[in-house]
Amino acid sequence: MTSYNKKSVDDIQVAGKKVLVRCDFNVPLKNGVITDENRIVAALPTIKKLMADGGRVILCSHMGKPKGEPKPELSLAPVAKRLSELLGKEVVFAADDNVVGENAKAAAAALKDGDVMLLQNTRYRVEETKNGEALSKELAELCDGQVFVNDAFGAAHRAHCSTVGVASFVKEAAVGYLMGKELQYLGNAVENPVRPFVTILGGAKVADKLNVIENLLNKADTLIIGGGMAYTFLAAKGYGTGTSLLDAEKIGYCKEMLSKAEEKGVKILLPVDCVIADAFPNPIDAEIAIETVAADQIPDDQMGLDIGEKTRALFAEAVKSAKTVVWNGPMGVFENPQLAKGTVAVAEALAETEATTIIGGGDSAAAVNTLGFGSKMTHISTGGGASLEFLEGKVLPGIACVNDK
């Protein structure tokens, strides 16, 4: 993967043209009410820029997994309503179950410069997730084959009609501000990091992060491993891990990574102590009896659920001298206040460091925001799966389809 130099909304002329914009409005709804509008707010700068430049803006997005059927509970109607409020201008909602239907065509034809409309959930159409040509062409025809802007980083690792297919049938394809920011930080920071470059990986499964670990071993100066995936690495060192989460099939792989790191002179930091309990908390935020033991002293009938105090200090110290830090995945069961201390300690260390701090979406983004450290980070990625694939060094289809400058 190399540095990205993609056309952005700053490089295109949209006055009087119809512009199809793929956003990520996949927001959580409860009884038809949006419970977290972060993704909608994040899309506003791109939308406002295109409106101000006199574009005729046609927004589209998916929500959830309707699997090619019009499911009313996954309609984007509440998003159109909230967008209208946030923009101070009516966003016309084209309620077509077939996405590009009579309502959409009429609304698009009626658009004036600076107007905005929103299409129905793109995944109401079965072709969307299969990148079927028919829907891609219909979407392109809606914007007169003029301009496509992809601002949905959260869906950039999917080759769907509205993220990739449509780009083949328009004159110009660019990235929005959100996507541009992801390229700048996640793409270029990992590719050409200011050193020392420290990466922190957590979360439950080693299997999910295998390729990430391998890619980062070639790039990072220090690799910190916490969360559930750390126990497979501890097992690879010959430690007993009790009833902790363990991917027995991957112990050999972890051994190989530890020796590779040694060869390359990359430091791998693993927990030196763990917070243990006799069972996973149920419900997840229930109070349980916990104690802290050395990482090589976990009793057979206990499981590790967070990193201990010494590990927190060790990890925080490693971050202090860093110039670039990328963090993906919590250090423990952060949904439980007793088991969130490791994740809090890492978030605090990142909040205090002078380094460029990049949080790779998903659970670590949720943890940072929930714990109130969001404003202290340089960049919080909007994509979970997409940011992981980015860290693996993969070329994401939703970015590849955009024109270079």
Task: Dump the DSSP string for 347-403.
Answer: HHHHHH-SSEEEE-SHHHHHHHHHTT-GGGSSEE-S-SHHHHHHHTTPPPHHHHTSP
What CATH number did the domain enclosing 320 receive? Answer: 3.40.50.1260
Q: List, for residues 64-79, the tens digit of each pLDDT value.
A: 999 999 999 999 999 9
**Beta strands 18-22; 56-60: pairing state:** parallel
Does residue 152 belong to any structural domain of this protein?
yes
Q: Helix-strand-coil percent breakdown of the chain, rounded to 5?
A: 40, 15, 40
Give the end of a domain, one of 137, 152, 178.
178
Residues 223/204, Cβ–Cβ less than 8 Å: no
Under DSSP, is residue 91 helix (H, G, I), strand (E, B) or coil? Answer: strand
* Nearest of 362, 403, 367 to residue 384 by alpha carbon: 362
**Beta strands 197-201; 222-225: pairing state:** parallel
The per-residue pLDDT for 3 is 54
The sign of the CA dihedral 21, 26, 27, 29 is: positive
Check whether residue 261 and residue 372 sit in a common domain. Answer: yes
Does residue 403 belong to any structural domain of this protein?
no
**How high is the mean pLDDT of the chain?**
93
Check whether residue 122 and residue 232 sit in a common domain. Answer: no
Does residue 2 belong to any structural domain of this protein?
no
Q: List, for residues 222-263, the tens digit of each pLDDT value.
A: 999 999 999 999 999 999 999 999 999 999 999 999 999 999
Q: List, for residues 178-219, the tens digit of each pLDDT value.
A: 999 988 888 877 788 999 999 999 988 778 888 889 999 999
The per-residue pLDDT for 361 is 73
Place of tokens 């993704």: 39
Does residue 348 belong to any structural domain of this protein?
yes
pLDDT-derived band at 1 (thresholds 50, 70, 90) equals very low
Check whether residue 173 and residue 193 sit in a common domain. Answer: no
Check whether residue 196 and residue 162 sit in a common domain. Answer: no
Check whether residue 216 and residue 146 sit in a common domain. Answer: no
Residue 329 domain boundaries: 186-391
Does residue 405 belong to any structural domain of this protein?
no
Catalytic residues, by residue number, are 39, 205, 362, 385
Give the end of a domain, one of 178, 205, 223.
178
Choice among 31-35, 217-221, 274-278 with the minimum mean pLDDT = 31-35
Under DSSP, is residue 83 helix (H, G, I), strand (E, B) or coil? Answer: helix
Check whether residue 107 and residue 198 sit in a common domain. Answer: no
Check whether residue 212 and residue 293 sit in a common domain. Answer: yes
Check whether residue 106 and residue 192 sit in a common domain. Answer: no
Does residue 274 belong to any structural domain of this protein?
yes
Query: Is the entire prediction scored with pTM above 0.75?
Result: yes
Q: List, for residues 43-97, the tens digit of each pLDDT value.
A: 999 999 999 999 999 999 999 999 999 999 999 999 999 999 999 999 999 999 9
The number of distinct structural domains making up the chain is: 2
Check whether residue 43 and residue 145 sit in a common domain. Answer: yes
Torsion, Cα of 86, 93, 147, 42 (10° steps) = 30
Does residue 4 belong to any structural domain of this protein?
no
Q: List, for residues 285-343, the tens digit of each pLDDT value.
A: 999 999 999 999 999 999 999 999 999 999 999 999 999 999 999 999 999 999 999 99
CA distance 31 to 11: 41
Distance separating the N- and C-terminal Cα atoms of the chain: 17
Q: Say if residue 15's pLDDT is above 60.
A: yes
CA distance 88 to 90: 7
Pull the structure tokens for residue 190: 């990992």
